[in-house]
Structure 1
Amino acid sequence: MRRAFILAAAAAAALSVAACQKTDSQPSAADPGTGNDAVNAAQDAASAAVGAASATQISTEDFVTSAAISDMYEIQAGEIAQKKGQSADVKAFGKTMVTDHTALSKELKPLIAAAGKTPPTGLDERRKGLIDNLNAASAAEFDQVYLKQQEAAHDEALSLMRNYAEKGDDVNLKAAASKAVPKVQAHLDHVKQLQAAPPAPAKK
């Protein structure tokens, strides 16, 4: 009941923020992208709040769903970053995300099957929204949007892995979650370094 209340509150906040942004940040003729950028940023922030709440779920069913969708999102977002990234560092990070999360997904697959669970085969609506916002981001804004999404996504994934490693009920998945924690933490640390450092220019 408490988890449902938290998720409902986060979802309500998401709708409220997005609605306010749509009302107050309409694009101007001089800068037609401003309004959409503000709305998309509000949606991404709301997604982060919902994700932070949902990452506390510790049932095996919830863990499998969240972990599978997290990997799918990271792979798709990383592929977009390799194409749209404006700095060499962002492009390289996107490539690393594709490699590392593809590997993590493959490691989890047989363990999920052994636990008698079936992972989802596509993104949920929340992560679809994040991908849509990456695709819609202008060249000038892309790196910032991507890295902000990545910080929130890895905060969520780190919480998910730590919580299941500590409190999960499948011994093999608990071990996999524990093993994943240092890798996810390294990704999060890398994101924060990229946000703090001047961008390296992308190769032409």
Structure 2
Amino acid sequence: MSVWRRLCDAAVLSTALIMLVPDPVRAAPDVPVPPENLLLDRGTGEISDADRDLVVKVRLAGLWEIPAGEMAQRKSNSARIKRIGRNIADQHAALDELARAAAKELKIALPNKPNSDQQGWLDEMEAAQGPEFDAIYIDRLRSAHGKIFPAIATIRSSTRNDTVRRLAQQANQFVMTHMTLLESSGIVDFAALPAAPAPAAATGKAPAQVLSAAEQGANEDTLGGADMPLIAAALAGGLIAGILVTRQVVGGRGRPGYRGRRPRYYGG
């Protein structure tokens, strides 16, 4: 094996070892949206009262947010608010079709008009104009989305029914988009939003799976932090050793008395 072949092998090995070390810089920056075709929609699986309630609530959301978005086109002086209202209304029309299809599959009765609270919010908007309308519109919709968001997550993670699971997945993506649109108005009063409940006090030993995850995270931190100098030192040591051996082999040819290996001849 030639000296240069050995050097190339050492370089390839060093590169492979470096690639094994986790590098947070290589993490993908985009958050993926799960493809809808991964979820079944056959109406199979036990359906709970909470599942039915979610389907009804998705329907109710469209019954007041669609007319609210239409009002934004007439009553707001802000091009941004008009666009937000139009986008949310159009998206709720699409989500409403999904909710009605799920209700038909699962034989769930749906309302045809907003509930009393929602009608009250629409009445407030109807009586307002300009900046006052903008404030009411953004506040009422952002508050409503903040309340339904955790409810959707609970159903998505617990339902036994595949049709409800799919609807919850779709609704979750719509709600996240709508909250982002509403917040892009720049007039959301975040300080007025309900505070998250305080975390429950730790009691006793944490579940085994939690400890396992924590230990795994600690191990990953060790690999990415404390072990990094050791890995670097080992790689550097290997490269230095390779260089020294190469110098001895190459340099030996120039020393007095050095005799290169004679080629062997077979026959002839």
**Band the TM-score falls in, shorter-chain normalisation:** 0.5 to 0.7
For residue 95 of structure 2, the aligned residue among 90, 104, 113 is: 104
Contact in 1 for aligned 2:75/2:129 (Cα 8 Å): no
| Corresponding residue number in structure 2 for 1:170 | 161
Query: Is there any run of 5+ residues in structure 2 with no aligned partner, and where?
Result: 1-47, 189-268
Larger radius of gyration: 2
Contact in 1 for aligned 2:76/2:131 (Cα 8 Å): no
| Corresponding residue number in structure 2 for 1:67 | 58
Decide which moves more: 58-67 or 145-154. Answer: 58-67
CA root-mean-square deviation: 1.9
How many Å separate the matches in 2 of 1:143 and 1:165?
32
| Corresponding residue number in structure 1 for 2:69 | 78
| Corresponding residue number in structure 1 for 2:192 | none
Identity among equivalent positions (%) equals 23
What's the offset of the Cα at 1:140? 3.4
| Corresponding residue number in structure 2 for 1:124 | 115
How many Å separate the matches in 2 of 1:168 and 1:124?
25
What's the offset of the Cα at 1:139? 2.6
| Corresponding residue number in structure 2 for 1:88 | 79
Output one character per residue of 1:164-200: Cα deviation in whole Å (capped at 9) or x when no partner.
2122342211112112212211210121121259xxx
How many Å separate the matches in 1 of 2:90 and 2:113?
19
How many Å separate the matches in 1 of 2:131 and 2:91?
27
| Corresponding residue number in structure 1 for 2:148 | 157
Contact in 2 for aligned 1:78/1:97 (Cα 8 Å): yes
Contact in 1 for aligned 2:60/2:115 (Cα 8 Å): yes
**CA 58–106 in structure 1, closer or farther in 2 if over 3 Å, else same:** same
How many Å separate the matches in 2 of 1:114 and 1:62?
15
Secondary structure (helix, strand or coil) at the match of 2:59 reads: helix
- What's the TM-score, normalizing by structure 1? 0.64
Query: Is there any run of 5+ residues in structure 1 with no aligned partner, and where?
Result: 1-56, 198-204
| Corresponding residue number in structure 2 for 1:25 | none
Output one character per residue of 1:44-65: Cα deviation in whole Å (capped at 9) or x when no partner.
xxxxxxxxxxxxx961231122
Contact in 2 for aligned 1:85/1:142 (Cα 8 Å): yes
The amino acid of 2:116's aligned partner reads E
How many Å separate the matches in 1 of 2:119 and 2:55?
18
Contact in 1 for aligned 2:55/2:102 (Cα 8 Å): no
Secondary structure (helix, strand or coil) at the match of 2:66 reads: helix
How many Å separate the matches in 1 of 2:124 and 2:76?
14
Contact in 2 for aligned 1:70/1:157 (Cα 8 Å): no
| Corresponding residue number in structure 2 for 1:115 | 106
Secondary structure (helix, strand or coil) at the match of 1:133 reads: helix
The count of corresponding residues between Structure 1 and Structure 2 is 141
What's the offset of the Cα at 1:117? 0.5
